[in-house]
A = this chain, B = another copy of it.
């Protein structure tokens, strides 16, 4: 393969250029004619389907049911919860005409569906017997950001799940937080091989309309943090705005307590960015559609014999969905590069010498390490190697995150940490002023979320706010973020 034409020509350190090339050259996605919107090509879409199916299976175990609500939201509905409206209206795409007819009221393309779902919740929920109501939809949403779009990481349209649940009491509602974050965390860790920092958002950074937000924050190879899945406990905010009430066991009227939660196609971008390298994509085996390529190395003379053996191996390894590349117009080296570019976790090479010795050569995409394996032991070895690659990718990602998380005790160390593209763990007071100052003084870093682990709390109690020096309220993670 001509590297200049098909391979990635940027180093991973030149992140923007490298990432843009990665996405396009590995055939994951393409730009479209609509600025800020992306075309998801088959490989990326298939990965999204896997995330969706696995997440959906877990949701169903919790009794969450799928529904579909309309794409368009009348402005007067969106406007009912004022903070929510204020949060989203600057990014709303408005439909004003149908055919030649001007509409009597503007319709928003859903940036999220609270405003269209909750009038129905209000109708459907009458008594405590209707609770909990646990609904979810897998759909597309649109947020017209004016910042520079980045494939997967920041696109105006994206795909996601939006879970919307209603409970009779706060305790039950809040308990769901753990259930849902556990699901998302499992998907990220076990499927995408991505560790994250989980915690509550500050008042400033929480979802527009929520009582509080729990987020999962990831560390990107360019030193920026990025928010992944999140969970919002809305308390009774929306219930009061949309009049979602019920009669409890004693016949008393009460407002419901609500949650919402989401995982989006952004996670594909985080996964591609964290694991991949200059040679191209690296995919965790569990998410990879094709887990290995088989490259027969043959000449005109021994072609038949070698292809026969390669096909036998293909059949034996069928469960791993192998790609057997029999093309004669390309040399093996070209094929090696191609499957490295596309992130196929394992490559099996088989040539005349290997056949003679009843062996094959296996090469790992993550480490590039070669291994000679006896054909009789091949399947077992492939299984083992795939598990090992999955583990190794997670470990690497965990090391990246840990190496770039730095505890700081004063503003000077915080400033230096941010300059060095770290996520800083710092003590902060609750005042909005300090949080605003923090952003200003660090030239753009913000609070990602609060570290609520007991060990952190214990370690950092009695510390002072790194901004004002007064008593701190909590330990927070601070970083520049997408």
* A45-74 CB contacts (< 8 Å) to partner B: 45-46, 48-49, 65-74
Q: Is the CB of A120 within 8 A of B42?
A: no
| B residues in contact with A89, CB < 8 Å | 99
Q: Is the CB of A92 within 8 A of B99?
A: yes
Closest B residue, CB atoms, query A66: B45
Chain B CB within 8 A of A404 CB? no
Residues A45 and B30 in contact in the complex (CB < 8 Å), given A93-B72, A95-B93, A99-B144:
no
Give the number of chain A interface residues (Cβ < 8 Å).
Answer: 54
Q: Is the CB of B70 within 8 A of A34?
A: yes
Which of A135-143, A197-205, A387-395, A440-448 faces chain B?
A: A135-143
Chain B CB within 8 A of A40 CB? yes
Picked from B66, B74, B93, B98, the residue with its CB within 8 Å of the CB of A42 is B66
Chain A, residues 88-110, CB within 8 Å of chain B (1/0): the string is 01111111111111000011010
Chain B CB within 8 A of A77 CB? yes
Chain B CB within 8 A of A331 CB? no
Q: Is the CB of A46 within 8 A of B70?
A: no
Copies of this chain in the oligomer:
2
| B residues in contact with A94, CB < 8 Å | 95-98
Q: Is the CB of A46 within 8 A of B66?
A: yes
Q: Is the CB of A32 within 8 A of B116?
A: yes
| B residues in contact with A146, CB < 8 Å | 99, 101
Chain B CB within 8 A of A161 CB? no
| B residues in contact with A123, CB < 8 Å | 30
Q: Is the CB of A67 within 8 A of B42?
A: yes
Task: Beyond A72-B157, A92-B98, A139-B140, list 6 extra A-B contacts (CB 8 Å).
Answer: A32-B116, A34-B74, A46-B65, A96-B97, A99-B144, A101-B146
What are 19 sample pairs from A and B whose C-beta atoms fall under 8 A apart? A32-B70, A33-B73, A33-B119, A37-B72, A39-B67, A39-B68, A40-B67, A41-B67, A42-B65, A42-B66, A45-B68, A48-B68, A71-B140, A92-B99, A93-B95, A94-B95, A94-B96, A95-B95, A97-B106
